[in-house]
Every structure is written in C-alpha cells, then in structure tokens.
Structure 1
Amino acid sequence: MFHLLLATCLANDPSICAERLLPSAESPSVEECHRKAEPIARDWLARHPDLRGGAARCVETAGLPALNMQEVADGVFFYQGAMEQISPGNRGRIANLAFVVGDTVAVIDAGGTRAEGEALYAAIRSVTDKPVSHLILTHMHPDHILGAEVFAEAGASIVADARLSDAVARRTDAWMMSIPDQIGQAAFMGSRIAPVDQKVDAPMTISLGSTELRLEPVKSAHTDNDLTVFDSESETLFTGDLIFRGLTPSLDGSLSNWIDWVDGTGPDPAPSLIVPGHGPVAATWDEAVAPERQYLHALRDATRKAVTGGMALSRAIPAIVSMMKPYSEGWADFNATTARNAATSFSQLEWE
C-alpha cells in the first residue's frame, strides 16, 4: 500500500514545517497514489488555510512514522502514552490509544495532535489493510481527540457520547491557543477538531463482523461525556480516563459520581483485560481501579474537612493538597493536578 505525504509549512511562519499524511490518497500502487496526489492535496489545503503546501511524495507503509503498538489480546492493539502532562518533550502524546481488528477496524481514541493520529493510522496499516470503519472517542479531552480528522479523512465514522460535541465547542478556542504553546507549533500543526458523526445517548453495539463493541455512556464522572467500550471477542474493556494508572486522575466532571463508578464491581461479564486512559493495562477490576479509588476517596474526605472547617477556597486548595500527601506515591504530576482537583471538588462539595 502507498500513502501520500504532503510537505506543509505554517502560513504565518514558513520556518515551521512538517509532512502531513493524507489518508484519502491511499493506493495499491505508487502510480495511482501519484495520480491522486494533486487534487487531494489541493482540496486538503483549501480546508487548512493556516498551512501552505509544498512537494508531495508517495511512500510505502513501512516508510511511514508509526506508533509502537502492542498486541495485548487477539486483534487488540494498544499504545501507552507518556505518564506525564503534555510538553515539548512528549509532543502531546500522553493518552492511551487502541484499535480492534475485526472484519473492519475500530479505533478507540485518536491522540492529541494530527501528527499522532497519522502515526496511529500508520500503525494500523502496518497490521492490516482492512478499512477503518469507526473511531470511538471515550471523552472530550484534547489528548484523546485531536487526531480524529485523520480517521474522518480515511472514511471512518466518528462516534462519541452525545454530550461531547457541546463540551468540546466550549473549549476549542482555548485549546487551539494553549496547546501549541505547551507542545510546540511544529508538533501541533495541522491539528483541528473533527465533528462527531454518531452521537451515543444510550448503550449501543457496533458490529465489526467477527466481533462486537458494546458502547456505554456513563453519567458525569471524570467528565460529563465519558463512554466505555467493551470488545466481545477478546473481552477487553476500554475505559478512557474513567481509569487512570500512574498519572494523577484529573477531575472535570462529578467527584461523587466518579467515586460511585470506581466503587462498583465493574462490568458484567468481568473483562479479561482493562485498558485505562493512562497507564498500563490491567488484568482485573481491582488491579485497575484500587489506586484511583483510594485517591478519589481521599480527595473527597480532605475536601469535606476543608469545607466543614470553614476555609475559603484560597486556603482550602493548599490544605487539601497537604492532606493528600500520604496518597501521592505512584502518581505522576501529583501536586499540580491535585491542586486543580481540590478547586473543583471544593466547589462541588461545599453545596452538599
């Protein structure tokens, strides 16, 4: 298989350049790829006015930069993101990503930039030439969704919780300004929000032929638009950021609902493998959620002490972080994330 790479530079800074993979030009021969190149590149650049195009070239799959995926179950491939906050060093690649191969391919989360989405697509093509039929977004956060346009261009239907689009729309302008500053303009170039095609407001099943994916919306917890995915053939559960392992959990939804979720016994039937939003896969529900359960309970208890003690928010945040210190072991970015969580949990629990 041959793939089109287009040289691009930022229109407002021609010194910042990178090649972009345009999956709609994918072809079985180099000649066909070259025939497609000019109109596809022209149309793509028209939709990306912030970029200027240069030379295009067609390369075989092996020549594409690809994420290093692990096959964690039969037909289930997993990429573990860096367990840290986004930075120039990690280029925003901190989220766990996955894909499931059936008669077609379904992708679970798309990465934090266009470039990461392209590298995920290249990893898929290194495994199979089957069409990518679905991209499932587990929640709204940019490290999971900003590679989505690559898969839309490849013909995939983008599937997400019905609440996700509105949540993303409220934050898009801020992300498009802040993320390039955090990871670098070159790493971010070409990244943009892709619209959701299929909005999920009740449990539903996606058929991949040889396997089925069960999608379950979750009431506000980590965010207000969380979605889990269960692969029936491998019995793998993809939780998105409802489960953090190693990277400190971040609260952008409801603390009490999140605690209720992790305090549960998990799905029935019990999964054989659990893929969290951050950190390594787990074999059992307790292995997956026990550290996060302890952290969230401690956050609730510390916040309640601050609230009942009559503290103002400015005093409560450092006090909560201090009370949480005994639970900091094993959590990356503990202080900064816990301070943000303290502000959110305080605003929620002061109304109990």
Structure 2
Amino acid sequence: MFHLVLSACLVASPETCAQRLLPAGDAAERQQCEQRAGPIARDWLARHTEMKGGKMACVETADLPALSVREIADDVYTHQGTIAQISPQNQGRIANLSFVVGDSVAVIDAGGSRAEGEALYAAIRRVTDAPISHVILTHMHPDHILGSEVFSEAGATIVADARLPEAVAQRSQAWMVSIPRQIGAGAFAGTHIIGVDQKISEPTTIPLGSTELRLTPQPSAHTDNDLTVFDTESATLFTGDLLFRGLTPSLDGSLAGWLNWLATPPQPEPALIVPGHGPVAESWDEASAPTIQYLTQLRDMTRKAVSGGMALSQAIPAITQMMKPYSEGWADFAATTARNAATAYSQLEWE
C-alpha cells in the first residue's frame, strides 16, 4: 500500500515543519496515490489553516514512521507509552494505545497528537489492510484522544462515553495552548480536536466478526467519562486510566467512586488487562493493587489532614509528605500527588 505524506509548516512559525500522513490518499499503487494527491492535500490544508503545505510524496507502508506494538493475544496489539508526564523528550507519547483486528480494526485510544495517531495508523497498516471501523476513547485526557483525527479521515467512527464531549469542550482551548508548549510545536503540528460520532451512555457491543468488543461506561472515577472495553475472544480488558502502573495515578473525577470501582473485580474475569499507563498484567490483583494502595493512602492521609483542621494550603504539602512512604515505583510522584491532594481535600472536606 502507498500513503500520501505532505510536508507542511506552521504559518506562524515557518521554520517549524512536519511530515503529515493523509490517509485519504491511501492507494494500492503509487500512480493512483500520486494522481489523487493534489486535491486531497488541498482539502486537508483548507481544514488546517494553521499550516502551509509543500512537497508531497507517496510512501510505502514499510517506510512510514510507526509506533512499536506488541501482539499480546491473537489479533490484539498494544503500544506501551513512556512512563512519564508529557515532555519534549517523549513528545507526549505516554498513553497505552491498542487495536483489535477482526473483519475490521477497532482502535482503543488514539494518542496525544496528530503525529502519534499517524504513527499508530502506520503500525496498524503494517499488520493489516482491513478497514479501521472504530476508534474508542476510554476517557477525555489529551494523551489518549488527540490522535483521533487521522482515523476519522480514514473513515473510522469515533466512539466515547456520552459525557466526554462536554468535558473536552471545557478544556480544549487551554490544551491547544498548553500542550504545544509542553511537547514542542513541531510534535503537535497539525493536531486538531475532533468530535465524537457515537456517544454511549449504556453498555454497547461493537462486532468485529471473529470477536466483539463490549464497551461499558463507568460511574465517575478517574474522570467523569471513563469507559472500559472488553474483547470477548481474547478476554482482554482495556481499562484506560482506571488503572495505572508506573505513572502516578491522577485524580480528575471522584476518589470515592474510583475506589468503589476498584473494589469489585471485573466479570467475566479477564485473561489480560491493559492499563492506561504501564505494562500489561495477567491478573486483576497484579493490575489493580498499585492503584488501590495509592488511592487508599491518598484518601486516608487526606482525611487525617482534614480532621487535623488543616487549611488547603497547609494540607497539600502535608498530604504529599505523608504519602512519601508509598512513592516507590511511581513516576512524577510529588507533582501529581500534590494535585491529587488538592482534589481529594475538596471532596473529603465535608465528608
């Protein structure tokens, strides 16, 4: 297969350029790709007015930059993100991204930028030419959703919890300013936040032929729009950021709700569990224990600060200090725990 790649530079910063993969140009033959390149590139640039286009090329699949993926079960692939907060060094590529291959392909989380979404798209095309029918977003955070547009251009339906669009709308303007500063303008170039095509508020099944994916919206926990995905053929559970391994959990929803979700092992019992960050696990206890311990201690230490009459300004450093004995194995512990302490305090203050 051949893929259309457009060299484009930021209008506001002409020295900042990137290679953008335009999946609408995919073709079986180079000549076909080249014949369609001009109109497709012009259409894309008309929708991405922050960029100015230049040279176009039709590139074979094997020559595209692609994420590293591992087949964790038959026809189930995962890319493990860097265990760190977003930075220029990791270009925001910190989330676990997965895809399941059946009669079509379903992607589970799309990455933190257009560039990462394109690299995931290339990884999929190295595995299969099957159409990409769905992109399932497990929650609102930008490291999981900002690569979605490339898959939408390839014809995929974007699926998410019904609460996600409003949550994203409240934050999108700030993200479009802050994230390029955190990962670099070049790494973010061409990234747009797009809408959700299929909003779900109850358990939903997506058939893929030999398997099906069971999507379940969850009560407020990590965020107020968490969604889990279960692949029936491989018995793989994709939890999004309801589970963290290695990167310190971040609380953007309900602490009590998150602990309640963790208290009930999933049914049917999964054979594999893919967390939002960190390595794949083979049992619920292995997957959930670190997050349970962290959040339990966060709750208990926050209660201690509240019962001690501490004001918020005193409580945040005190809770962070009390949590230090539980910091081993967690990346970005101090900064994330300080933010979590503020959120937990606001939720537990009037408990």
**Which amino acid is the alignment partner of residue 69 of structure 2?**
M
TM-score, normalised by the number of residues in structure 1? 0.99
- Correspondence for 1:277: 276
CA deviation profile, 1:251-270 (whole Å, cap 9, x unmatched):
00000000011111x22110
| Counterpart Cα distance in 1 of 2:242 and 2:157 | 23
Please state whether the residue corresponding to 2:116 is helix, strand or coil.
helix
- Correspondence for 1:242: 242
Task: Return the offset for 1:334.
Answer: 0.3
Please state whether the residue corresponding to 2:158 is helix, strand or coil.
strand
| Counterpart Cα distance in 2 of 1:18 and 1:43 | 18
| Counterpart Cα distance in 2 of 1:315 and 1:351 | 17
CA deviation profile, 1:67-117 (whole Å, cap 9, x unmatched):
000000000000000000000000000000000000100000000000000
Map 1:92-241 onto structure 2 (within 5 A): 92-241=92-241
| Counterpart Cα distance in 1 of 2:219 and 2:190 | 33
| Counterpart Cα distance in 2 of 1:45 and 1:64 | 21
Task: Return the offset for 1:214.
Answer: 0.1
| Counterpart Cα distance in 1 of 2:135 and 2:336 | 28
| Counterpart Cα distance in 1 of 2:202 and 2:21 | 35
- Correspondence for 2:62: 62
Please state whether the residue corresponding to 1:288 is helix, strand or coil.
helix
| Counterpart Cα distance in 1 of 2:288 and 2:331 | 16
**Which amino acid is the alignment partner of residue 347 of structure 1?**
S
Note the aligned Cα RMSD (angstroms): 0.4
Please state whether the residue corresponding to 1:49 is helix, strand or coil.
coil
**Which amino acid is the alignment partner of residue 33 of structure 2?**
C
**Which amino acid is the alignment partner of residue 71 of structure 1?**
E
Task: Return the offset for 1:194.
Answer: 1.2
- Correspondence for 2:20: 20
User: Which segments of structure 1 move beyond 3 Å, counting only runs of 4 or more?
Assistant: none
- Correspondence for 2:321: 322
- Correspondence for 1:305: 304
- What is the aligned length? 351
Please state whether the residue corresponding to 2:120 is helix, strand or coil.
helix
